[in-house]
């Protein structure tokens, strides 16, 4: 898991071959005007989910994990209180892993809450259970989904 400011995002370009493509998209796209929902960037290897709305409470937030995708969650407006716990420490699965949706949910409580305001981001890897859209106020964020094993190289 990584948390940082958007000004430092290029420091993480070498972590994954698709990250530079995502970071270029962040620099050139007008994320504030994209409609809610899924927007393809590079087929199913890289896409972004735009989310707007009032956040949920910490009590309602469920940890989740992914196997196929890395999440780069960029807060565009508001402050997201993202939860985090190592996946290896999660013991209370709500369901089995859903391969079609690349997600599994847990009842375990986050080990840490990460206050993530505008222009800050978190990167969650498959070994990170996480929750998001936690706020008492309106949130606007972009969740970039980056295939762990891309089919198409950018």
- Does residue 67 belong to any structural domain of this protein? yes
Greater pLDDT, 151 or 69: 69
Task: Confirm whether 88 is domain-assigned.
Answer: yes
pLDDT at 154: 54
In a domain, residue 147? The reply is no
pLDDT beyond 90 at 25: yes
- Evaluate whether residue 152 is within a structural domain: no
As to burial, measured by CB atoms within 10 angstroms (0-12 exposed, 13-18 middle, 19+ buried), residue 126 is middle
Residue 137, Cβ density class (10 Å: 0-12 exposed, 13-18 middle, ≥19 buried):
exposed
Q: What CATH number does residue 35 fall under?
A: 2.60.120.370
Give the chain's domain count.
1
Q: How far apart are the first and last CA of the chain?
A: 23
Is residue 149 included in any domain, yes or no? no
pLDDT digits (tens, 9 = 90+) for 68-124: 999 999 999 999 999 999 999 999 999 999 999 999 999 999 999 999 999 999 999
73 in a structural domain: yes
- How many CB atoms neighbour CB 31 within 10 A? 17
Run of H or E including 124 = strand 120-124
Q: Which domain holds residue 25?
A: 2-141
In a domain, 137, yes or no: yes
Q: Is 151 domain-assigned?
A: no
Query: How far, in Å, CA of 81 to CA of 108, rounded?
Result: 16
Tokens 């999440």 belong to which residue? 71
Q: How far is CA 144 from the centre of its chain?
A: 6
If you average pLDDT over every residue of the chain, what do you get?
A: 96
Q: Is the pLDDT of residue 136 over 70?
A: yes
């Amino acid at each position: 898991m990584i948390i940082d400011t958007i000004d430092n995002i290029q420091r993480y370009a070498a972590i994954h071959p698709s990250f530079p493509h995502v970071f270029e998209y962040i620099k050139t796209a007008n994320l504030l005007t994209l409609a809610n929902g899924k927007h393809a960037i590079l087929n199913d290897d890289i896409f972004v989910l735009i989310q707007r709305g009032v956040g949920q409470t910490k009590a309602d937030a469920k940890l989740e994990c992914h196997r196929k995708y890395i999440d780069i969650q960029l807060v565009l407006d508001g402050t997201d209180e993202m939860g985090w716990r190592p996946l290896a420490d999660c013991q209370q699965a709500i369901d089995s892993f859903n391969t079609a949706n690349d997600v599994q949910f847990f009842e375990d409580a986050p080990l840490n809450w990460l206050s993530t305001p505008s222009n800050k981001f978190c990167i969650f890897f498959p070994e990170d259970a996480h929750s998001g859209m936690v706020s008492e106020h309106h949130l606007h964020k972009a969740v970039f989904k980056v295939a762990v094993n891309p089919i198409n190289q950018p």
